[in-house]
Amino acid sequence: MDADHIKKDDELLQLVTFSIGEEEFGVDILKVQEIIRTMEITKVPRAQDFVEGVINLRGKVIPIIDLRRRFGLDSKAHDKHTRIIVIEINNMIVGFVVDSVSEVLRIPASTVEPPPPVVAGLESEYISGVGKLHDRLLILLDLDKLLSSEDMESLSQI
């Protein structure tokens, strides 16, 4: 085994994990700017159905996307566990509403497998891999693919 191979196996992915429904997801911690409690979300007329609206975060207007609706799940009333994960995608700041944020995890890259065609009812295009963690499966989201270029264009006009 060469040194590069050993390094790849030992590489740790740092992920912010969160849940939507029964599933647990992870996103690269480097993409996450902050995690906030829900706040007043202003509805936006004629926005896509998964756009919940916008918030004013320290003077910046940020579009808020309901990940449940983006994944085709039923909406759920926000509760004390609901969080907004603020992420930069393609030079744009976007907030994603999730049911709850679990923890920051470090998992070896070697435990991540390519996604099967459909995971938890989600198309694999949004998924960069599935991490196995003891008795849990962690779906790793590819945030850059979660929103199409058309989605990004319409968000930029909000």
Instruction: Please list the pLDDT of the chain residue by residue as tens digits (158 residues).
Output: 444 444 555 699 999 999 998 899 999 999 999 999 999 999 999 888 899 999 999 999 999 999 999 888 888 899 999 999 999 988 899 999 999 999 999 999 999 999 877 666 666 778 899 998 888 889 999 887 888 778 888 888 87
pTM recorded for the entire structure: 0.86
Question: What local confidence, expressed as pLDDT, does residue 42 receive?
Answer: 96
> What pLDDT score does 6 carry?
43
> CA-CA distance, 34 to 154, in Å (whole number)?
23
Residue 62: Cβ-neighbour burial (10 angstroms; 0-12, 13-18, 19+): buried
Number of domains in the chain: 1
Which pLDDT score, from 0 to 100, does residue 157 have?
Answer: 80
Which of left, alpha, beta for 150 (phi over 0: left; psi -120 to 50: alpha)? alpha
- Domain coverage including residue 146: 3-156
For residue 118, give the CATH number of its domain.
Answer: 2.40.50.180
pLDDT for residue 4: 45
